[in-house]
């Protein structure tokens, strides 16, 4: 990273500003205009600390692997397009390892999800003069394009909660930070947003069929290659939401219940089949192998006792289904509420600790304010709360059970955080409505 990065950065910021501004002008709602503009500038400004952290303070995958090799492939293409252009669309297994810029990255580009990020970095490098700061901006804008659609999805259903959704999606520190540079996370967070709003428009609003279908295919493919476990843990619950949302239009209660139950059984059956079919693609996260691999991951981290960011769930896991059930509370707690303040040894995890503490307090506040029965009743009454909470809890279990390092935990958990926080905001909103209802005279 050099002086030219800071010269080019405002130029590309201006380009993206006018690009998104042209889109913002199409919104008649001043609330959407306000948050779209705020969200854009937050994502732009977040690129600066992300770049500083990953290039100087704590160089990792973003700079050492993805940027180094992606920019190098772009350089090879510029030098001899006929010989090297095919690296932009070749399979990861076909990449010539002798072309690596850094020999320490040997083997990493043979993995499809890593190579996809490198491939995109190489492509954007041709447009960004191979400048790290500018490339981070490109990835941040990919994330924002999808994250904004996620915001719109929730806002269109509960417009009075625009501030709460902004807190959960546009302002959440770890979510913003880790999706603002060359990593897998910006692509994944952007993809979830595009897929969510695309499916919502197709199956509920019944509009923009071709455009949304194209976006679902493109971002669905990216998510499948980069982090397929997000795709297979998210889509079934969002489909459940769409089913529950649409059946409310059916007047017959018996027909509605029958349809919901039938579609749920079908969705679960399809989900199980997909899990079995792509077990190999999951590289050890398949349904048949997940219990064995959780044990292996925990053992591998346990052998690195001197690593300051490693942690233990405090629950013995022996690979059985019973122990997986026992580990669930600890794993979910780790994802949503850890690292605790006293567990943070680095700046990145310390900031996440304060965020996790706030989420924990908010969870307890909403739970005790609602009471156990009303809390559970709210989940079953609202399809959005149901799908958001089911996805975030299952995802938290997966990440918490397979991650034993706070440095990676704070990154891996970000896709589920907005959904978990939004579910809490929606339950809180139901409490407020009942308290303000003259019928119940403020009783919950």
Alpha-carbon gap, residue 368 to 192, rounded angstroms:
31
Q: What is the mean pLDDT of the chain?
A: 85
Report, in this order, helix, strand and coil percent for the chain, each rounded to 5.
80, 0, 20
Q: Which of 379, 399, 276 is nearest to 328 (CA)?
A: 399
Tens digits of residue pLDDT in 11-64: 999 999 999 999 999 999 999 999 999 999 999 999 999 999 999 888 888 888
> Quick one: which of 67, 198, 40 has its CA closest to 130?
67
Of 411, 376, 422, 419, which Cα lies nearest the Cα of 394? 419
Q: CB of 147 within 8 A of CB of 168?
A: no
Q: Transcribe 157-193 into DSSP letters.
A: T-GGGHHHHIIIIIS-HHHHHTTSSSSHHHHHHHHHH
Rounded to whole angstroms, the Cα distance separating 433 from 444 reads 9
pLDDT attached to residue 441: 46
- Residue range 301-320: mean pLDDT, rounded: 56
Which among 2, 4, 9 is positioned nearest to 135, based on CA atoms?
A: 9
Residue 1: which pLDDT band, with cuts at 50, 70 and 90?
confident
> With 60 as the cut, is the pLDDT of residue 293 above it?
no
Q: Which residues pair with 310 in a beta bridge?
A: 405
pLDDT of residue 324: 62
Q: What angle do CA 267, 272, 277 make, to 5 degrees?
A: 125
pLDDT at position 310 over 50: yes
**Please, what's the b/e burial string for 189-223 (b: 16 or more CB within 10 A of its CB; e: otherwise)?**
bbbbbbbbbbbbbbbbeeeeeeebeebbeebbebb
The percentage of residues in the chain with a pLDDT greater than 90, rounded to a whole number, is 57
Interacting residues of 110 by C-beta distance below 8 A, sequence separation 6+ = 92, 93, 95, 97
Q: How far apart are CA 298 and CA 403, in angstroms?
A: 8
pLDDT tens-digit series, residues 101-154: 988 888 889 889 999 999 999 999 999 999 999 999 999 999 999 999 999 999
332-336: long-range pairs with CB below 8 Å, 24+: 332/393, 332/396, 332/397, 332/400, 333/400, 334/400, 334/403, 334/409, 335/395, 335/396, 335/397, 335/399, 335/400, 335/403, 335/409, 335/413, 335/416, 336/360, 336/363, 336/392, 336/396, 336/413, 336/417, 336/420
Which residue is listed with tokens 């579910």? 423
CA 122 – CA 127 distance, rounded (Å):
9
Helices (H), 96-177: 112-128, 132-155, 162-165, 173-177
Largest distance between two CA atoms of the chain: 76
pLDDT digits (tens, 9 = 90+) for 222-239: 999 998 888 888 988 898
DSSP 3-state of 114: helix
Closest alpha carbon to 169 in 185, 155, 151, 187: 151
Q: For residue range 152-171, what is the model confidence (pLDDT) as tens digits?
A: 999 999 999 999 999 999 99
For residues 36 and 31, give the distance between their C-alpha atoms in angstroms, rounded to a whole number: 8
How many other C-beta atoms can be found within 10 angstroms of the C-beta atom of residue 180?
Answer: 28
| Whether pLDDT at 444 is above 60 | no
Q: What is the pLDDT of residues 386-438, one digit of tens each?
A: 899 988 988 888 788 777 788 888 999 999 999 999 999 999 999 998 877 76
pLDDT for 246: 75
Give burial (CB, 10 Å; 0-12/13-18/19+) of 151: buried
pLDDT value, residue 290:
45
Both tokens assigned to 125: 């490098």
pLDDT higher for 380 or 186? 186
What number of residues does the chain have?
444
Q: What's the pTM? A: 0.88
Supply the DSSP string of 252-269, one letter for each residue. Answer: -HHHHHHHHHHHHHHHHH
How far is it, in rounded angstroms, from Cα 167 to Cα 401? 27
Dist CA 267 CA 241 (whole Å): 12
């Amino acid at each position: 990273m050099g002086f030219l990065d800071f010269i080019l950065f405002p130029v590309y910021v201006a380009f993206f500003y006018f690009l998104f501004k042209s889109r913002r002008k199409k919104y008649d709602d001043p609330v959407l205009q306000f948050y779209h503009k705020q969200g854009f500038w937050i994502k732009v400004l977040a690129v600066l600390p992300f770049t500083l952290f990953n290039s100087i303070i704590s160089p990792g995958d973003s700079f050492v692997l993805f940027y180094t090799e992606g920019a190098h492939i772009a350089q090879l293409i510029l030098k001899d397009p006929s010989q090297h252009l095919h690296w932009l669309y070749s399979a990861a297994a076909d990449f010539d390892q002798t072309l690596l810029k850094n020999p320490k990255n040997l083997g990493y580009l043979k993995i499809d999800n890593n190579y996809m990020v490198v491939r995109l970095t190489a492509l954007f490098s041709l447009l960004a003069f191979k400048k790290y700061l500018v490339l981070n901006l490109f990835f941040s804008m990919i994330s924002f394009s999808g994250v904004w659609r996620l915001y719109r999805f929730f806002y269109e259903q509960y417009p009075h909660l625009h501030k709460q959704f902004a807190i959960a999606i546009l302002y959440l520190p770890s979510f913003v930070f880790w999706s603002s540079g060359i990593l897998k996370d910006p692509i994944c967070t952007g993809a979830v947003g595009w897929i969510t709003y695309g499916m919502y428009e197709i199956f509920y609003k019944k509009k923009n069929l071709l455009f949304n279908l194209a976006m679902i295919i493109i971002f669905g493919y990216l998510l499948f290659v980069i982090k397929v476990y997000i795709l297979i843990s998210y889509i079934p619950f969002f489909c459940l939401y769409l089913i529950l949302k649409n059946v409310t239009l059916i007047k017959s209660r018996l027909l509605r219940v029958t349809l919901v139950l039938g579609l749920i059984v079908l969705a679960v059956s399809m989900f199980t089949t997909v899990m079995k079919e792509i077990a190999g693609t999951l590289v050890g996260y398949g349904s048949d192998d997940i219990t064995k691999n959780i044990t292996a991951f925990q053992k591998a981290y346990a052998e690195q006792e001197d690593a300051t960011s490693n942690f233990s769930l405090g629950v013995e896991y022996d690979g059985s289904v019973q122990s997986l059930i026992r580990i669930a509370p600890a794993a979910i707690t780790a994802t949503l509420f850890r690292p605790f303040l006293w567990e943070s040894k680095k700046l990145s995890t310390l900031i996440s600790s304060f965020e996790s503490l706030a989420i924990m307090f908010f969870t307890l506040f909403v739970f005790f304010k609602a009471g156990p029965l009303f809390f559970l009743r709210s989940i079953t009454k609202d399809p959005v709360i149901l799908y958001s909470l089911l996805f975030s809890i299952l995802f938290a279990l997966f990440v918490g059970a397979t991650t034993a390092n706070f440095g990676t935990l704070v990154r891996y958990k970000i896709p589920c955080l907005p959904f978990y926080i939004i579910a809490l905001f929606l339950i809180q909103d139901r409490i407020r409505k009942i308290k303000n209802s003259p019928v119940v005279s403020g009783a919950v």
